[in-house]
Amino acid sequence: MTAESKPMESETQNNRGHNSSLGYKTFKLGDVEFSRDLYFCHLKWPTGSHSLHIEPFLRATLRMYQWQFFFGSLLYDDLVGFTNHYGTVELFIGRDDPGFQKAEKTHAVVMETGEALEDLCAMLENWSGGQFDPFVSPRETGRSIGAHSAPLDHLMTNRRLLAKRILGGKDEAAAWSASNGQNTNEHFEDLEQIQPLVHAEPGYEDALSAFNVFAHLACQEVVWNPSICSVVRHNAVCITTEEEELPVWHKNDRLEWFVQLSDEIIWDIQNGADGQKRARVIMRSGDVSAMPHDIRHRGKSPKRSMLLVWENSDPEIHKKVSAGAVPFLSESLDYAAQS
């Protein structure tokens, strides 16, 4: 953490009049100040200010922190987000918003990724008190409204599995299942968790692994937090259980594929560059979609559902995409293209 970004002890009243007697610290990322009160995170920078509801803010920030900013940009809303430049990270305000652009009010801070992660970690630890678990579905957690208190013990624990080759393989974490001791979520109690049997030829015992993806997802306790379940070269197959709303808008810098494994997710799709509405994609069990690189999306899952996300983890792919060196897939997501 740099000297500039060290948390400042709250005063009884800060210079915008927000009452900070609740005991929360105020943080600075570059010249952007983050403070919290009962219901909101307030941002203040030399030419403007903005407020975000605290619970969605904490849900989004914990994912940004644990995913180390993921691919492309993660946004809290239509104004504020982080872009991953793979080594550095940019906190932007209004950068992709036509109103801010027209008024010449956009603002950005570029930081070393490690420094930004330290700042988010300190903020999460200080602001996520009480019984609020930002990772579980809203129906399964308490709230984060009130004065400062200690967060849940497991707040910062990494609650996803990251396979190097395949879950359950040699020296790899085992997929979740009831037979492995995990609890089954009540929305998936009707699912039979039969595990595959693997009969390997002698000598191939360490090279083969199989598991029941549906059992793994029925036992995922968190939502909107994909585990990498298998990897082949730059293909990362990520599986996750979803409920209520994805806490971030994701503006990718590459194409990604979705396979809806159960139930339904409604995706709101906007232009990546300016947030204009582009499409609403309703995915039901068995549906497959390719999300192009030039959009941002956010999912809504009316009941707990299962999703597979296929990511291209080629460290050069975003450069090929921005250079126009790979095929684009985009027009099919225009409202105009829908009958």
Residue 318 touching ligand PHB (CB under 6 A):
no
Quote the least distance from Cβ 250 to ligand PHB, whole Å.
3
Total of chain residues touching ligand PHB, rule CB under 6 A: 9
From the list 88-96, 182-190, 238-246, 326-334, the region that binds ligand PHB by CB under 6 A is: 238-246
> What residue number has its CB nearest to Fe ion?
250
With contacts defined by CB under 6 A, name the span among 118-126, 169-177, 187-195, 239-247 that binds ligand PHB.
239-247
CA gap 15, 99 in Å, rounded: 27
From the list Fe ion, ligand PHB, none, partner contacted by residue 226 (C-beta under 5 to 8 A by kind)? ligand PHB
Query: Does the footprint of ligand PHB cover residue 253 (CB under 6 A)?
Result: no
Q: Which long-range contacts (CB under 8 A, 24 or more apart) does 31-37 make?
A: 31/109, 32/91, 32/93, 32/107, 32/109, 34/123, 35/10, 36/127
Q: Encode the chain in three state secondary structure.
A: CCCCCCCECCCCECCCCCECCCCCCEEEECCEEEEECCCEEEEEECCEEEEEEHHHHHHHHHHHHHCCCCCCEEECCCCEEEEECCCEEEEEECCCCHHHHHCCCCEEEEEEHHHHHHHHHHHHHHHCCCCCCCCCCHHHCCCCCCCCCCCCCCCCCCCCCECCCECCCCCCCCCCCHHHCCCCCHHHCCCCCCCCCCCCCCCCCCCCCCCCHHHHHHCCCCCCCCEEEEEECCEEEEEEEEEEECCCEEECCCCEEEEEEECEEEEEEEECCCCCEEEEEEEECCCEEEECCCEEEEEEEEEEEEEEEEEECCCCHHHHHHCCCCCCCCHHHCHHHCC
Single out the residue of 240, 260, 270, 301 in contact with ligand PHB (rule: CB under 6 A): 240
Give the binding range for ligand PHB (CB under 6 A) out of 9-17, 110-118, 198-206, 240-248: 240-248
Nearer to ligand PHB by C-beta: 50 or 296? 296
Q: Does residue 34 bind ligand PHB (CB under 6 A)? A: no
Nearer to Fe ion, 250 or 293 (CB): 250
Residues in contact with Fe ion by CB under 5 A are: 250
| Between 55 and 256, CB nearer to ligand PHB | 256
Least separation in angstroms between CB 57 and ligand PHB: 17
Nearer to ligand PHB, 35 or 185 (CB): 185
Q: Which of 256, 263, 305, 308 binds ligand PHB (CB under 6 A)?
A: 256
Nearer Cβ to ligand PHB (133/256): 256
CB of 240 to Fe ion, least distance (A): 11
Q: How far is CA 7 from CA 47, 120, 148, 317, in A?
A: 21, 11, 15, 37
- Quick one: which of 24, 57, 224, 267 contacts ligand PHB (CB under 6 A)? 224
Instruction: Output 18 or 63, the one with its CB closest to ligand PHB.
Output: 63
- Give least dist CB 223 to ligand PHB, A: 7
- In whole angstroms, the minimum distance from the beta carbon of 252 to ligand PHB comes to 7
Applying CB under 6 A, the residues found at the interface with ligand PHB are 224, 226, 240, 242, 246, 250, 256, 307, 309
